[in-house]
Amino acid sequence: MKKYALIGYPLGHSMSPLIHDELFRIKNRESSYSLEEISPEELDGKGDFLRGLNGFNVTIPHKINVIKQIDELAESAERYNSVNCVANDGEKLIGYNTDCDGFLTATKEFPLDKNVLLIGCGGVGRMMAIETALHGGSVTLGIIPEAMESAQKLKEEITAKIPEAVVNIAIISELDGKYDVILNASPVGMYPKTEACPVSDEIISGCTHVFDAVYNPVKTQLITKAEAMGKVAVGGASMLVYQAVKAHEIWDGDFYSEEEINKIIKAVEDKINEGQVK
């Protein structure tokens, strides 16, 4: 039996076993998937354990530090200097970033080449900003004042990678004008503070598409408001599942139909709605 795992610290209640176990089941693969809490202090000593796995996923706080344990980085991991999926080919560990695949698949109908407002600029927000710029979109980083230094560094990083990129920085409370797409990469609206919304109703009303990386609750205030206004609105559960699907493509060469994937997204959303995820 092949062995896979998610490493991170702390892990709490993760949706990963539900998603990956179902993906293995669909393809009749006898594989196990476990949660492995590894503290930052323990990571350097876990090399043998990690090499004993057929593959593993990586979450906070190890996405950068795990690179020291890896023999080779795929282009996606090099692009972000961040790894969330590792494959063991029997001779070496190869690191990938499938968060970008999850994001782009979840937003495949979005006009990312237009005027895009991105709330948040750390972690997943950095990836979304770079991908939007690569797609030719004009990116406005909507931030709180405390994040100004991080936003400026991200702007410099993007323009160094993509000289023609258009990147602006704006304080969220001072936002005005119209954006075609709103992307939320901040924790605003996440359980348990579910009544919060990252942008005003006026900003939402001016867009056509909304994506919220928050997946708990399934319907954040941002998604609820956008849907009520007739916007195309996609929640974070889809990105969560799509990035896992990409991992199985990397590990086993497995591909899944849209119908199979949608069933897993629904199962994840149902589990969240039942209150089994905090």
CA-CA distance, 10 to 245, in Å (whole number)? Answer: 23
82-116: burial string, b at 16+ Cβ within 10 Å, e else: bbbbbbbeeeebbbbbbbbbbbbbbbeebebebbb
Four-CA torsion 180, 185, 189, 192, nearest 10 degrees: 160
Q: Which of 2, 3, 27, 63 is catalytic?
A: 63
Residues facing 139 on adjacent strands? 116, 167
Which of 95, 84, 103 has the alpha carbon at shortest distance from 16?
Answer: 84
Is 63 marked active-site?
yes
- Token pair recorded at residue 225: 């408001």
**Which residues are known to be catalytic?**
63
